Amino acid sequence: MLYIGSHVSLKGKDMYLGSVLEALSYNANSFMVYTGAPQNTIRKSIEDLKIAEALKLIEENNILPSNIIVHAPYIVNLSTEDEEKRQFAISFLTNEVLRTAKMGSYNMVVHPGNALKLSLNEAIKNTAFVLNKIIENTKDVDVRICIETMAGKGSEIGKTFEEVKQIIDLIDNKDRIGVCFDTCHVNDSGYDLVNNYEEVITKFDQLIGLEQIKVIHLNDSKNVCGAKKDRHENLGMGNIGFDTLIKICYDERFKNIPKILETPYIDGVAPYKDEIAMIRSKIFKK
């Protein structure tokens, strides 16, 4: 079964219920949502999210919990050396994991962090420390933290499979960690999915293990392989191209993994209904 969806918003008066309705309007059987605005850490109280109504609709439409993905805000830097910011990251993301569980999801995606002035090794150690604390603080919930593969823009860590592996190696409870494989980021960081697809996948498998992938972010890229830019493009309009993205979607090894579109809006309109239809039909329409 193909599990495909997009990121959807959590806003207006319908909140989480609105997110599910948005996903259904795209004919999606999977979706990803932020627990609030991704650029800030202001969060509504959990009672105001209309979770019960949303969960009812999720069940009625047979959306599996493994196909509901939550994304943590990206402004929290897990690699920070500032003690106050580190403590904030731990307490804030602890709460986000608890919210993720209440929203009926098993998987929360995080960006591993920015090294800034730190060495790569120090940054990786800091990130693992924060992740271990969050996992420890949320022992009773069944939520996995998925480290996203990054493009390598600025001082982003997690731009190579080796860096992702280094973080995972430092996690105490490996049952609570996974990976989110972002096709645009992987391309931008320098892995050639177009010409060396099998090599790239094999490399990931040997280093980390394909079974660690719990989410695929399915994006084309505005930039060439290795550009270290991170600018998403609509499917088939970028440097990865439709055929390679279809190959990933229908790769037997990723059969049960939800594929989430984070492609840009076109003239203010979400492209997801059309892109999902294109993936289902395997036919590219401009």
Contacts with Fe ion by CB under 5 A lie at: 148, 182, 217
Q: Do 72 and 109 meet the contact criterion of CB atoms below 8 Å apart?
A: yes
* Cross-strand bridge partners of residue 146: 109, 178
Residue 184 Cβ, how far from Fe ion at the closest point, in Å? 7
Integer Cα distance of 87 and 269 in angstroms = 39
Of 22, 163, 188, 230, which one interacts with Zn ion (CB under 5 A)? 230
Rounded to the nearest whole angstrom, what is the least distance from the CB of residue 217 to Zn ion in the complex?
Answer: 7
User: Of 135 and 227, which CB lies nearer to Zn ion in the complex structure?
Assistant: 227
Cα maximum dimension of the chain: 51
- Stretch of 61-69, 94-102, 160-168, 225-233 lying at the interface with Zn ion (CB under 5 A): 225-233
Nearer to Fe ion, 231 or 247 (CB): 231
Nearer to Fe ion, 148 or 188 (CB): 148
Cα(61)–Cα(81) distance, integer angstroms: 44
**Closest-CA residue to 78 (of 68, 88, 69):** 88
- Binding partner of 217, given Fe ion, Zn ion, none, CB within 5-8 angstroms per partner class: Fe ion
Select from Fe ion, Zn ion, none the partner in contact with residue 230, using the beta carbon and a kind-dependent cut-off of 5 to 8 Å.
Zn ion
- Concatenating the DSSP letter of every residue in 161-224 gives HHHHHHHHHT-S-GGGEEEEEEHHHHHHHT--TTT-HHHHHHHHHHHT-GGGEEEEEE-EESS-
Q: Which residue number, 68 or 180, has a Cβ lying nearer to Zn ion?
A: 180
Residue nearer to Zn ion on the CB measure, 96 or 230: 230
Footprint of Zn ion on 95-124 (CB under 5 A)? none
Extended strands (E) in the chain = 4-8, 30-34, 68-71, 107-110, 144-148, 177-182, 213-218, 220-221, 232-233, 259-261
CB of 107 to Fe ion, least distance (A): 13
**Spatial contact of 52 and 17, defined as CB atoms under 8 Å apart:** no
Q: How far apart are CA 237 and CA 223, in angstroms?
A: 11
Q: Nearest residue to Zn ion, using CB?
A: 230
Give me the least distance between CB of 281 and Zn ion, in Å please: 26
Give the interface segment with Zn ion, choosing from 5-13, 59-67, 202-210, 224-232 (CB under 5 A).
Answer: 224-232
Q: Would you call 75 exposed, middle or buried from its count of C-beta atoms within 10 A (0-12, 13-18, 19+)?
A: exposed
Stretches 44-52, 91-99, 201-209, 223-231: which one binds Zn ion (CB under 5 A)? 223-231
Q: Identify which of residues 230 and 233 has a Cβ nearer to Zn ion in the complex.
A: 230
Binding residues vs Zn ion (CB under 5 A):
230
